[in-house]
């Protein structure tokens, strides 16, 4: 399989899911550092793994090709309207992970936006105190793990495992933390599926317009507050 690394204006990829979906969303991905010059590397920071082709997205520079070009799969595809797309919310498989990617309120909002259906794995929100009944009341369809992973768009918190990727369909759109530098096997498996991947952990936090999508800081803040509260509890007296 060949891999394409190219620079392009982010506006041309704001239609990854649909004509009006996720405007301005960008992600840092894996780069071919062996053949990228320093000048090009500065201009090609974020990247999106798109239908098996890695595309490096320039933040504010005009569209221009980089020195690295290896083709794989189509450069682009016709955007699908929301009404033809289903979303899957699997239960997180990592040990001690209590978060869920979509709440019942989120399900309701997604359906109002026009998505065809939202499939939630049974028990996906239990650790976060969201019952299956609450998801059904919001309009979700309950399913098993394979059913949630086999939808057009899969929404996760933690990077998927190779086993989870095996349940995903060809051309799947995945929105999740990916950690590509340490999960080469997963990235390769997604590329083989022709996946479009938005790595939420790779969005450049220094850009004000990207801070809306900054999952790292928002989640780290919660963990940080909890750490201080628990430390104060175990310390045994007031901090002075």
Say how far apart CA 93 and CA 96 lie, in whole Å.
9
Say how far apart CA 210 and CA 234 lie, in whole Å.
37
Higher pLDDT, 168 or 72: 168
Higher pLDDT, 27 or 195: 195
Token pair, residue 239, equals 């901090």
Residue 197: pLDDT above 90? yes
CATH architecture assignment, domain 82-202 = 3-Layer(aba) Sandwich (3.40)
pLDDT band at 120 (very low <50, low <70, confident <90, very high): very high
Higher pLDDT, 55 or 224: 224
Residue 234: pLDDT above 60? yes
Domain map (residue ranges) of the chain: 82-202
pLDDT band at 119 (very low <50, low <70, confident <90, very high): very high
* Share of residues in the chain with pLDDT > 70 (%): 68
Higher pLDDT, 155 or 50: 155
The confidence score (pLDDT) of residue 126 equals: 97
Residue 151: pLDDT above 80? yes
Residue 84: pLDDT above 50? yes
The residues, ordered by sequence, that sit 6+ positions from 32 with a Cβ below 8 Å of its Cβ are 3, 5, 68, 70
Q: What is the average pLDDT across 147-170?
A: 97
- The number of C-alpha atoms within 13 Å of 131 and in the hemisphere containing its C-beta is 3
């Amino acid at each position: 399989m060949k891999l394409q690394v190219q620079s392009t204006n982010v506006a041309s990829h704001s239609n990854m899911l649909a004509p009006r979906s996720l405007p301005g969303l960008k992600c840092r991905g894996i780069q071919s550092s062996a053949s990228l010059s320093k000048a090009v590397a500065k201009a090609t920071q974020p990247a999106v793994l798109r239908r098996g082709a890695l595309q490096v997205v320039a933040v504010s520079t005009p569209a221009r090709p980089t020195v690295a070009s290896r083709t794989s799969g189509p450069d682009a595809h016709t955007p699908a309207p929301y009404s033809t797309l289903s979303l899957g919310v699997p239960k997180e498989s990592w040990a001690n992970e209590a978060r869920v990617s979509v709440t019942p309120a989120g399900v309701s909002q997604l359906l109002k936006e026009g998505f065809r259906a939202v499939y939630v794995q049974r028990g996906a929100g239990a650790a976060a105190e969201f019952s299956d009944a609450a998801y059904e009341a919001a309009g979700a369809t309950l399913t098993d793990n394979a059913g949630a992973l086999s939808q057009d768009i899969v929404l996760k918190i933690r990077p998927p495992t190779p086993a989870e990727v095996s349940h995903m369909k060809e051309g799947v759109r995945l929105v999740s933390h990916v950690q590509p530098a340490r999960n080469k096997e997963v990235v390769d498996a997604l590329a083989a599926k022709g996946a479009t991947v938005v790595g939420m952990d790779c969005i450049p936090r220094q850009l004000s317009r990207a801070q809306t999508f900054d999952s790292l800081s928002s989640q780290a803040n919660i963990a940080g507050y909890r750490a201080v509260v628990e430390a104060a509890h175990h310390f045994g007296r007031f901090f002075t």
